[in-house]
Chains A and B, each alone.
Chain A
Amino acid sequence: MKCRKCKEKAIIKLYEHNLPLCKEHFLEFVEGRVQKAITDFGMVRKKERVLVVISGGKDSLTLAFLLRKLGYKISLLHIDLGIDGYSEISRKFCEEFAHLYQLPLQVISIKKEWGKGIKELARETYKSPCSLCGLVKRYYFNKFAYENGFSCVATGHNLDDMVSALMANLLGWRISYIAKQTPVLPEEGKLKKRIKPLVYLTEREIAAYAFLQRIPFSRQDCPYAYTASFLKIKHLLNQLEVSSPGTKYSFYLGFLKNKQLFGEGKVTLRECALCGFPTVTEICSFCKTFRKEEVRNYAGES
């Protein structure tokens, strides 16, 4: 198989575009897709400071690599979830990456903040580890970005993440969540803008890019990943993708074109009575989960 652009030997075929590419043109393709997403959705300008949230996995590290390569001003944030046998390895990859590419890295350790890891906290708060993990990450990366003057937070969500979340929310008709599956969530008060520059790339493309650029990333699966329904939906969508290449891409572009059908996804935000960060209720989910005593005291006072 030959590269469509230069007729050299192809190293990958992008079925959704019916496009075989050599290494050089594939790297160029990936970089172009990220720049296109940033431009198409007005994500960020080169003079702004971007906080990239990294987990140690291929997507977030590749995102940081690409943003750096494309000339954006980035800093890294890693949230150490305190999952024994997993988080130590994830953190090590983040620290190695920051060192290798000379990027500033901050680490927030959940064990240091709360005395225990996500697994124990999930048990105590009667939440699933996945929903608690999401809550903790969203709270801390937004707080860190707000307090440290970043213009936005970039996450490594890719096309597969977006379409599987979209499909899962469609299956459950969670309208307000469907409306939020956009590549940019705008800034609102203390809620910093969130951007997803990998939205035009599949996991396979990102993994291939990371492999070709020799980006060291953790290949371990989160021990709780098997509980995530998104994973099952990802497999189903990938089966459809093989029989009909381009399904994921057109599904997502179709959503972007028709997203007004699901409303603006806008809710009225106010500041949490305890921490001051944005919430739809009087006290935010983070405080309700982690500051139970303060919540009780507040309820007693008011």
Chain B
Amino acid sequence: MQVKVNGEIKEVKGRKRVGEILEELGLNREEVLVIKNGELLTESEWVEENEEIEVMRVVSGG
């Protein structure tokens, strides 16, 4: 599957739950939102191999 993280595309293999994808990419669930087809996904949701998701970082600094 393709995972867009802040505009950068990352490839993740296989069918996985959102929580597993975040873990694989080293992302903290408290610091992101995961979006598929314009909808928010919870960490327990499955993402199929042929699907695309977007990870939006939510932490602002300064």
Contacts and interface: CB of A to CB of B under 8 A. Distances in A.
A1 B42 contact: yes
Contacts, number: 77
B40 interface: yes
Contacts of B30: 15, 202, 204, 238, 241-242
A222 B40 contact: no
A222 B61 contact: yes
A243 B40 CA distance: 23
A208 to B, nearest CB: 6
A13 interface: yes
A12 B58 CA distance: 14
A103 interface: no
Given A11-B41, A20-B42, 11 more contacts: A15-B30, A59-B60, A207-B58, A224-B62, A230-B61, A231-B61, A234-B59, A234-B61, A241-B30, A242-B29, A242-B30
B8 to A, nearest CB: 13
Contacts of A133: 62
A31 B29 CA distance: 22
Given A59-B60, A225-B60, A226-B61, A11 B31 contact: no
B43 A221 contact: no
B40 A212 contact: yes
Contacts of A208: 33, 40
B42 A12 contact: yes
Given A208-B33, A211-B33, A211-B56, A13 B43 contact: yes
A1 B41 CA distance: 10
A269 interface: no
B60 A242 contact: no
Interface residues of A, number: 37
Contact of A11 (B40, B59, B61): B40
Contacts of A13: 42-44
- Chief secondary structure at chain B's binding surface: loop
Interface of A: 1, 10-13, 15, 20, 23, 57-59, 130, 133, 160, 202-204, 206-208, 211-212, 219, 221-222, 224-226, 228, 230-231, 234-235, 238-239, 241-242
Interface in B17-62: 28-33, 35, 39-45, 56, 58-62
A207 B33 contact: yes
Nearest to A245: B30
Interface of B: 28-33, 35, 39-45, 56, 58-62
Contacts of B60: 57-59, 203, 221, 225
The 10 closest A-B CB pairs, nearest first, are: A225-B61, A231-B61, A207-B58, A238-B30, A225-B62, A11-B40, A222-B62, A228-B61, A203-B58, A228-B62
A225 B59 CA distance: 11
Nearest to B7: A219
